Amino acid sequence: MENDTIRFACNGCGICCKGRLIPLTLDEARQWLQRGHEVAVVLEAFDETTWSSEPRQFAHSAQRAVAVTSGDAQIRVVAVLAGNALTQCRNLGDDGRCGIYEERPLVCRIYPMEINPLITLRPADKVCPPEVWEAGEVLFTDRVVDPILADQIERSRQADRDDAQAKIALCEAMGMNVAAWKGNALAVYLPDREQLAEAIIRYDRAPVAPKGLDWKVRVETPALAQRLRQAGVALDDQRSTGYIFQGL
Ligand code: SF4
Ligand code: SF4
């Protein structure tokens, strides 16, 4: 088993706190907004054809998604709420330390470990400097070794499942109804902080199920656009959009 052993010792460099979006549970997003920070909304769509050779990946993703109607097609949409750290996280201090260390989100506690059980941890895929993989505690063998870390990963997965309906209902209430196609691009909304906070408060007072209607998909890859159009998926072809479209 030693060949599969991955050791890790975080050096506190803070690279993972910069240049990215920080996925948040719905409860963490409430706290993030209350601290006065922005929360982005990333929307991804997929269907059964997305993982034709990997049905376990479809099953995993479907648990975090909501079935919606797009044109004449049924697709699934995942909404990810994410702290905006595209420059750097607002909680990162000048001393390089996390200013909310005791209350930091689950994903910050879990990184660099993977949350998706079907993705293998590969140090080369992570932003951590190479030397942190050369010593330290055993992070991973054929499984997560630390029971606290394993519990955090399971709580993150459970929150993804528990929050899925509420997040899609929030998106619908705020008119965020265009997703990118999984693996092809990201559609990133940057809603007004106060409007998103108010929408969450309204939802908390009177939770509603998503309607699941009138969703669209943004695609700029001709072959994929043709395939989705043939499947009846409604594509968003507006020149001016309320979201950032980022090809992968
Ligand atoms: S909350 Fe803390 S640990 Fe997480 S990204 Fe921000 S500064 Fe880094
Ligand atoms: S990038 Fe890696 S080594 Fe640096 S603070 Fe983040 S987890 Fe630790």
Q: With CA atoms as reference, report the closest residue to 104 among 43, 37, 166.
A: 37
CA of 89 to the centre of ligand 2 (A): 14
Ligand number nearest CA of 12 is: 2
CA of 96 to the centre of ligand 1 (A): 10
Q: Which residues contact 201 (CB under 8 A, 6 or more apart)?
A: none
- Written as one string, the DSSP assignment of the chain is -GGG-EEE------GGGEEEEEEE-HHHHHHHHHTT--EEEEEEEE-GGGGTT-HHHHHHHHHT-EEEEETTEEEEEEEEEEEEEEEE-TTB-TTS-BTTGGG--HHHHHTTS-SSTTS---GGGS-S-GGGGSSSEEEESSSB--HHHHHHHHHHHHHHHHHHHHHHHHHHHTT--EEEETTTEEEEE---HHHHHHHHHHHHHS-------S-EEE---HHHHHHHHHTTPPBP--SS-SSEEEE-
CA of 13 to the centre of ligand 2 (A): 6
- In this structure, the residue with its CA closest to atom 6 of ligand 2 is 16
Position 65 confidence tier, pLDDT thresholds 50, 70, 90: very high
| pLDDT at residue 151, rounded to an integer | 95
Cβ of residue 13 lying under 6 Å from some atom of ligand 2:
yes
**Residue range 19-38: average pLDDT?**
96
CB crowding 233-248: b at 16 or more within 10 Å, else e: bbbbeeeeeebeeeee
Q: With CA atoms as reference, report the closest residue to 41 among 243, 182, 247.
A: 243
Reported residue count of the chain is: 248
Cβ of residue 96 lying under 6 Å from some atom of ligand 2:
no
CA of 246 to the centre of ligand 1 (A): 23
Ligand number nearest CA of 132 is: 2
Q: What is the mean pLDDT of the chain?
A: 93
Indicate whether 1 pLDDT > 60: no
Cβ of residue 15 lying under 6 Å from some atom of ligand 2:
yes
pLDDT digits (tens, 9 = 90+) for 191-248: 999 999 999 999 999 999 999 999 999 999 999 999 999 999 999 988 778 999 999 9
| pLDDT at residue 53, rounded to an integer | 81
pLDDT digits (tens, 9 = 90+) for 144-187: 888 999 999 999 999 999 999 999 999 999 999 999 999 999 99
Cβ of residue 132 lying under 6 Å from some atom of ligand 2:
yes
Cβ of residue 11 lying under 6 Å from some atom of ligand 2:
yes
Per the model's pLDDT, the better-predicted residue between 201 and 2 turns out to be 201
- In this structure, the residue with its CA closest to atom 8 of ligand 1 is 17
Ligand number nearest CA of 20 is: 1
| pLDDT at residue 200, rounded to an integer | 97
Q: Which residues contact 172 (CB under 8 A, 6 or more apart)?
A: 210, 211
Single-letter amino acid code for the residue at 212? G
pLDDT digits (tens, 9 = 90+) for 100-151: 999 999 999 999 999 998 888 899 999 999 999 988 888 878 778 889 999 9
Least trusted range by pLDDT, from 6-10, 28-32, 51-55, 156-160? 51-55
Residue pair 200/217 in contact (Cβ under 8 Å)? The answer is no
CA of 80 to the centre of ligand 2 (A): 22
Ligand number nearest CA of 123 is: 2
Q: Which residues line ligand 1 (CB under 6 A)?
A: 17, 22, 85, 89, 91-92, 98, 100, 104-105, 108
**Domain extents for the chain?**
2-247
